[in-house]
A = this chain, B = another copy of it.
Amino acid sequence: MRFIGKNRTITHFAADMEPIVHVESGATITVETHDCYGGQIDNESILRPDINLDTMNQATGPIFVKGLGKGDVLQIEIKDIELDPYGVMVTSKGLGVLGEQIKEPTTRILPVNEGQVWFKEGFVFPVRPMIGVIGVAPASGRIHCAVPGEHGGNLDTKDITIGRKVYFPVFQDGGLIALGDLHASMGDGELDGTGVEIGGRTTLTVRTVKGRTLEAPVVETADSFLFLASAKTLDEAIRKGSERVVGHLEQELSLEFQEAYRLLSMLCDVRISQIVNPLVTVRVAVPKELLPRLFMK
């Protein structure tokens, strides 16, 4: 099994970025990643205003998948996530939905071991590992790793975790995968602006899906397909996600618009992934009882 160390990272997903490694479709690889601060915060005296934010959310990669071509779909199956022994939670003025109530920045270093996050005595919770940043090269230009979009990036979607499959549109030959920004735990919304930020090692299997296309990432869980959408506002992201789902249902299930629209309202949940990045991200969950497979035809 191939191991890719965290010494090779990107700060932007770029259309023309150079791969650091080539793997076969079907390969299983382990990717080591920094926490979102690049390891700059290793004790509680280091505050958010003290660090360099230009390299925030740096991602390990890019990884070129042989045989994966522009216009294909890339499937990434998350096999395992192994977390470092501690995570970081900063607060800082203006950060998150109640950020104006913060007077002074503070940093907490939280031990993470035995499958638990140790917040303080009496406040110990099971880890819920997830990948914050994961994506492919975009169609054009370069997008900072702190930003989510059709290429993936800083999606901060807690369903991107062990046992799940994530499908990406492929904009450049080889896909050019990069990932980072693990969290030991995070709620939907990422309401104070951060999860339990942590480094670690993710094991994933990459596969090529030929002859099908996608507009934006989709996560497959045990019971649903989650169609992701990112935009400046929640309203716009919800609208985008709804359009993608209705269009997909029309095409894959041979439904008329009004039928697909009713089924969206009756059966599909819109959920918030995060509202604290430069673009917000939502996901529209389509249950498998409606859509048994992502591509039906």
Say if the beta carbon of A114 comes within 8 Å of chain B: no
Q: How close is A161's CB to chain B, nearest CB, in angstroms?
A: 14
Residues of chain B lying within 8 A (CB to CB) of residue A270: 187-189, 191, 272, 275
Does more than half of chain A's interface fall in helix, strand or loop, or is it mixed?
Answer: mixed
Residues of chain B lying within 8 A (CB to CB) of residue A185: 266-267
A271 touches B272 (CB 8 A): yes
Q: How close is A16's CB to chain B, nearest CB, in angstroms?
A: 36
Q: Kindly state the separation between the CA atoms of A189 and B267 in the bound complex, as whole angstroms.
A: 10
A123, A194, A289: most-surrounded residue (chain B CB, <10 A): A123
A238 touches B189 (CB 8 A): yes
Say if the beta carbon of A263 comes within 8 Å of chain B: yes
Residues of chain B lying within 8 A (CB to CB) of residue A262: 89, 91, 108, 119, 192
A98, A123, A246, A265: most-surrounded residue (chain B CB, <10 A): A265
With A125-B289, A271-B272, A290-B125 in contact, do A266 and B196 touch (Cβ < 8 Å)?
yes
**Binary per-residue interface labels of chain A (260-291) against chain B in the complex, 1 for a CB within 8 Å, 0 otherwise:** 01111111111110010000000001000110
B125 touches A265 (CB 8 A): no
Say if the beta carbon of A235 comes within 8 Å of chain B: yes
Say if the beta carbon of A106 comes within 8 Å of chain B: yes
Residues of chain B lying within 8 A (CB to CB) of residue A187: 264-270, 285
Say if the beta carbon of A77 comes within 8 Å of chain B: no
B101 touches A265 (CB 8 A): no
A265 touches B192 (CB 8 A): yes
Residues of chain B lying within 8 A (CB to CB) of residue A196: 266
Say if the beta carbon of A75 comes within 8 Å of chain B: no
Residues of chain B lying within 8 A (CB to CB) of residue A96: 261, 265
Q: Kindly state the separation between the CA atoms of A178 and B143 in the bound complex, as whole angstroms.
A: 52
Residues of A near any B CB (own CB < 8 A) = 89, 91, 96-98, 101-102, 106, 108, 117, 119-120, 123, 125-126, 185-196, 234-235, 238-239, 242-243, 246, 257-259, 261-272, 275, 285, 289-290
Extra pairs beyond A89-B262, A188-B270, A192-B262 (12, CB < 8 Å): A89-B266, A98-B243, A101-B261, A125-B290, A185-B266, A187-B264, A187-B267, A187-B268, A187-B270, A188-B269, A196-B266, A238-B275
The 5 A-B residue pairs with the shortest CB-CB distance, nearest first, are: A192-B265, A188-B269, A189-B270, A234-B234, A187-B268
